[in-house]
Structure 1
Amino acid sequence: MASEFKKKMFWRAVVAEFFAMSLFIFISIGAALGFQFPVSENKTTTPVQDNVKVSLAFGVSIATMAQSVGHISGAHLNPAVTLGLLLSCQISILRAVMYIIAQCLGAVVATAILSGITSSLPDNTLGLNALAAGINSGQGLGIEIIATLQLVLCVLATTDRRRTDISGSAPLAIGLSVALGHLLAIDYTGCGINPARSFGSALIVGNFKDHWIFWVGPFLGGASAALIYDWILAPRSSDVTDRMKVWTSGQVEEYDLDADDSRVEMKPK
């Protein structure tokens, strides 16, 4: 773990998570806020936001950021995804902790900037996640678990280097999965499948009501996806104790990192 801490590649990856997360939050929540909604000229006076627009904004922005920094950090951009990859023994504990810190900081910075830009919007909650009327905490938790489970399952499946049948774009597939999660969860919880994104809004607005749901739900969903994929759908042949060594060594099972220490791209042994 100490050796990984000293590598420039490691810190480039942490910075990439912070930078990409900041852009992702700024673009996606900025699209969700919007000064021109409702549009009085078109008589769209309903206060309900366009769920398709918001879902696509989150999905496309994630796909764009994944394409931009995926070769540097893996483009987790979500603590639940990071947890899933940790439990799948693909990253070290140190990397997981630093990624989650960077993701949360990126979300806070982006939300703070948006707060200044959209300060004149009435009742601006900066995309704060909250339970819809009639939804209790247990129901909201279930929605978050399912929405996050399908996302992390998609990440694990599309980035599985044992597969030879994938010819499309992994970032696009993950982006569509994010959009799908939002289409499912927006009307129930505002969609909190990204704990860092939820944390940024809650911290800047100063409202942590039911905030635990947006950490526990995604973490349970991410953990469940890792266990289901690695133990039921696509079990690995290597010994569990050998795989767990990645938590301290930082070496990815079945692959070696490039020797020049410039990228996190992996090559088969």
Structure 2
Amino acid sequence: MMAREIQTKSFWRAALAEFLGMTIFVFLSIGSATKWTGAGVPADIVQIALTFGLAIATLAQSIGHISGAHLNPAVTLGLLVGCQISILRAATYILSQMLGAVAASAILFGLTPKSRNGTLGVNALGDGVTSAQGLGVEIIITFQLVLCVFATTDKRRTDLSGSGPLAIGLSVAIGHLMAIGFTGCGMNPARSFGPAVVTGNFKDHWLYWVGPAIGGIAAALLYDFLLTARFSDLPDRLKVLTNGQTEEYDIEGEEDSTKMEMKPK
């Protein structure tokens, strides 16, 4: 079944959407976080938080119907633990996200004058913040983001109204408003990875993977097994890990069948 999933056009469209979406997101977001030293335009926390949040909301609206608009390895890991995507798709998404983040960081680095290019938005611990404290902050801010993703995309809910992408974007913005002073606000391992690769600065980089991963997985487990208690359909959901969501590729099969039926006999 994994082979069937990877052979579909929708699988590769989704991977491309994650790459392009991440490229645009990281370019816009770390562009707002880059310090333009000597330009009289200091980085502003509200500006940065709004850019991150609105960029995610816009891209979720733009590519959500193609890939789900994860745009974050922590979100992908959470959805994998929640048995909403296959292992193969999760690995492909994360690779696409990382490549997109590196591409965006390289493009921004090339477009930013060297005399005004600061840290390229590389995440770093604030003054006096320990690694343990930074890890705790990253766990909590990512936890609330992934919890929001699960709640706003829960197909069983009948009370949802308004814009899901906007709610998720606001969750991202809130995390940044709180955490920028602590850790620079990673919340997204790929976003942290891109600038680190381009600048070669991997100081404390591990916590920008470990923290979001723990937060995303914890949110998935809490939502599915404590807050909503989804145990009855667990056997069927576990099949998704190897088979994928069949509706994602059966549409193409149906289209092919329809075309065959329409051919004159």
Q: Same fold (TM over 0.5)?
A: yes
- Which of 243, 248, 261 does residue 252 from structure 2 map onto? 261
Structure number having the greater helix percentage: 2
Tell me the CA shift for residue 117 of structure 1.
1.1
Whether the 8 Å contact between 2:37 and 2:117 is mirrored in structure 1 is: no
- Bigger Rg, which one: 2
- Which of 135, 138, 147 does residue 144 from structure 1 map onto? 138
1:66 counterpart residue number? 60
Q: Classify 1:140/1:33 alpha carbon distance in 2 versus 1 (closer, same or farther; 3 Å).
A: same
2:119 counterpart residue number? 125
Return structure 1 stretches of 4+ with deviation > 3 angstroms: 34-38, 256-259
Q: How does 1:2-17 map to 2 (within 5 A)?
A: 2-17=3-18
3-state secondary structure, aligned to 1:261: helix
* TM-score calculated relative to the size of structure 1: 0.89
Report whether the alignment pairs 1:39 with 2:33.
Answer: no
3-state secondary structure, aligned to 1:245: helix
Tell me the CA shift for residue 204 of structure 1.
0.3
Q: Which amino acid aligns with 2:30?
A: I
Tell me the CA shift for residue 147 of structure 1.
0.3
2:22 counterpart residue number? 21
Q: Report Cα offsets for 1:70-118 as digits up to 9, x if no partner.
A: 0000000000000000000000000000000000000000000000111
3-state secondary structure, aligned to 2:252: coil
Q: Which amino acid aligns with 1:104?
A: M
Q: Report Cα offsets for 1:40-63 as digits up to 9, x if no partner.
A: 8xxxxxx6x311110000000000
Report whether the alignment pairs 1:234 with 2:228.
Answer: yes
Deviating more after overlay: 180-189 vs 241-250: 241-250
Q: Classify 1:229/1:69 alpha carbon distance in 2 versus 1 (closer, same or farther; 3 Å).
A: same
Report whether the alignment pairs 1:159 with 2:153.
Answer: yes
Distance 2:38 2:235 in 1: 54
3-state secondary structure, aligned to 2:251: coil
Tell me the CA shift for residue 236 of structure 1.
1.6
1:201 counterpart residue number? 195
Tell me the CA shift for residue 2 of structure 1.
1.1
1:186 counterpart residue number? 180
Q: Classify 1:109/1:257 alpha carbon distance in 2 versus 1 (closer, same or farther; 3 Å).
A: closer
Report whether the alignment pairs 1:111 with 2:96.
Answer: no
Q: Report Cα offsets for 1:113-164 as digits up to 9, x if no partner.
A: 0001113244621100011110110000000000000000000000000001
Q: Classify 1:136/1:249 alpha carbon distance in 2 versus 1 (closer, same or farther; 3 Å).
A: same
Q: Classify 1:248/1:258 alpha carbon distance in 2 versus 1 (closer, same or farther; 3 Å).
A: closer
Distance 1:22 1:258 in 2: 25
Distance 2:96 2:112 in 1: 24
* TM-score calculated relative to the size of structure 2: 0.91
3-state secondary structure, aligned to 1:77: coil
Q: Classify 1:34/1:130 alpha carbon distance in 2 versus 1 (closer, same or farther; 3 Å).
A: closer
Distance 1:59 1:102 in 2: 21
Distance 1:115 1:258 in 2: 38
* Root mean square deviation, CA, Å: 1.7
Distance 1:2 1:259 in 2: 14
Equivalent pairs counted in the alignment come to 252
Tell me the CA shift for residue 32 of structure 1.
2.1
Distance 1:92 1:151 in 2: 21
Distance 2:14 2:197 in 1: 25
1:248 counterpart residue number? 242
